[in-house]
Amino acid sequence: MFDRFSRSWSLVQASAAVLRSDKELMVFPLISGALTLVVLATFLLPIWLLRVFDGGFNVLGAVLVFAFYFCQYSVILFCNCALVGAAMIRLDGGDPTLADGFNAARARLPAILGYAAIAATVGLVLKRMKDDDSLLVRLLGSGLGAAWTLATFLVVPVLVSQNVGPIDALKNSASLLKRTWGENAIGNVGIGMFFGLVSFSIILVGALLAYLAAQVSVALAIAVAVVFVVAVLLVGVYQAALSGIYSAALYRYATQGEAPAAFHGLQLQHAFQAK
């Protein structure tokens, strides 16, 4: 287990080094975030105007929710595939452009849309379970959600690197989990916890400074709040980019067992050695 912790930390370090060397990779999460807001507004406005859920959850509501999930997953997956596609080029020692990443994603668009439909269905089912009145069902939904996250963590690099359909991509990702479950879980939880703490600290400090600024001027308090909100968003963008690169690096470890070209000289080759 110590080897898995050490290897996971080395992979995170190496992924961060790749991100520092190519900060353009953070543009992909920025675009993804902007597009998801557009999709959200596109669905929320008609749902609100038509009062779809005034009479409770109904067939029309279920169709709209599924369509929303599908569109959101499609946008997020496409941008994630673009990020991982560019990261793969960087891991091979190349110098990717935004166009390179989006071209890689566009080449796999049918498979991305197919997997988005699967993910939307699973996401809708899990949400219904987590919103259930039964505590047991909610706990089961949370457990299945965690298992789904781990099993599908490598779906994006599989979609980008292999000419397979969405179902085979899901199967291959789950199969790779058998070899990388420790690095998968530790990396996911570690990255999430670290950036969660960073975001919480920023929010805490921001709230305190905004409160103190409000004693001087409301306008100043708003300005301080905006600065810290932007800081939290940037942390989220960095986390998303790092997570994408980590998934690409973990995929390389699982499939090749050797350090990509971008890691040479970082003294992290041992992270890719089979234990």
**pLDDT at residue 259, as a whole number:** 56
Q: Token pair 């259930």 is at which residue?
A: 132
Question: How far is residue 242's CA from residue 15's CA, in Å, rounded to a whole number?
Answer: 6
Residues with Cβ < 8 Å from 75, sequence gap 6 or more? 32, 35, 36, 39
Phi, psi of 258 (to 5 degrees): -140, 160
Residues 112, 164: Cα–Cα separation, whole Å = 10
Burial 13-50 (b: 16+ CB within 10 A, else e): ebbbbbbeebeebbbbbbbbbebbeebeeebeeebeee
pLDDT score recorded for residue 272:
43
Q: What pLDDT, on the 0 to 100 scale, is given for residue 271?
A: 44
Eight-class DSSP state of 132: S
pTM to 2 decimals?
A: 0.82
User: Does the CA dihedral 139-121-233-94 come out positive or negative?
Assistant: positive
CA 119, chain centre distance (Å): 13
pLDDT for 188 = 67
Q: Which amino acid is at 11?
A: L
Residues 233, 97: Cα–Cα separation, whole Å: 23
Positions in the chain short of pLDDT 70: 1-9, 52, 55-58, 179-188, 257-275
Q: What is the pLDDT of residues 190-246, one digit of tens each?
A: 778 888 899 999 999 999 999 999 998 999 999 999 999 999 999 999 989 988 888
Instruction: Kindly provide the b/e burial profile for residues 234-267, where b requires at least 16 CB atoms within 10 angstroms of the residue's own CB.
Output: ebbbbbbbbbbbbbbbbbbbbbeeebbebbeeee
Dihedral sign from CA coordinates of 129, 192, 99, 14: negative
On whether the CB atoms of residues 109 and 159 are closer than 8 A, the answer is no
Residue 21 has phi, psi (to 5 degrees) of: -80, -15
Closest CA to 236 of 34, 1, 4: 34
Q: How far apart are CA 162 and CA 183, in angstroms?
A: 21
**Residue 269 confidence (pLDDT):** 45
Q: How many other CB atoms are found less than 10 A from the CB of residue 96?
A: 22
Owner of token pair 């439909």: 117
